[in-house]
Amino acid sequence: MKIFISFIITNFIVLSFEAELPQPISFADSVVIENIAFIKIGTYRGLTSNGAEYQKSYFFPRHLMKTPWIESRAVCNSYDFELTIFETLAEAEAVFTMAENNSYLKTINSVFILVDAMTLTLKSTTDWYWTKTGQKISYALPWMPGEPNNINNLNELCLSFGRSTLTSRFGFNDSPCSEIVFSFLCQKIEFFMPSKTMETVSISSNH
């Protein structure tokens, strides 16, 4: 199944792409917004489902600058970051805790932050893919209450996480891809060390 989407990135650029999940999706990375200050919310170290060890740090734009989902991906890349993906549920929950404990985010009643995932099925709870790799998300997503809901029929095919009140916990939310309504979270991969099993498979494949 293919999806064809057009986004107006600036007044002069129209970006269109056709994607057939679960293949990795390539986007233009040429959108640059200068002088953005990023706030680091924390660092996570863990293991992928394949046993690879990795460490990432996470950054959101100061004042929770809002962009369309497609532009947020390009902005992260232009600063040598990537739009965030969560390798495991443990990583997602760790980042939710970082966000809940962040001194700036603690003061904001309603927070929604985009990450690098899409679906082709409106209101789906399970059919979501990381667009960097095309891989289907393998764990059960902890959704905000009442989500996903495709509110106001905005074609909410992109993924965010957030909370609707100061007292509620962070969870996932379906989001519009082309509306300027949410901020975004970038990641910086600080190291990635394949597991011994992955290394063995890689070496064996050369013979």
pLDDT in tens, 69-79: 989 999 999 99
pTM of the shown model: 0.80
CATH number of the domain bearing residue 79: 3.10.100.10
Instruction: Kindly indicate the confidence band of residue 33, based on its pLDDT and cuts at 50, 70 and 90.
Output: low
* Full DSSP string of 117-160: EEESSTT-SS-EEETTT-PBP-S---BPTT-S--GGG----EEE
Residue in the block written with tokens 């060390």 = 193
Q: Give the domain extent around 87.
A: 3-204
Q: Cα(44)–Cα(79) distance, rounded to whole angstroms?
A: 20
CA distance 46 to 25: 25
pLDDT value at position 131? Answer: 94
Number of structural domains (the chain) is 1
Which residue shows structure tokens 């992109």?
158
**Which residues face 117 on adjacent strands?**
130
pLDDT for 15 equals 35
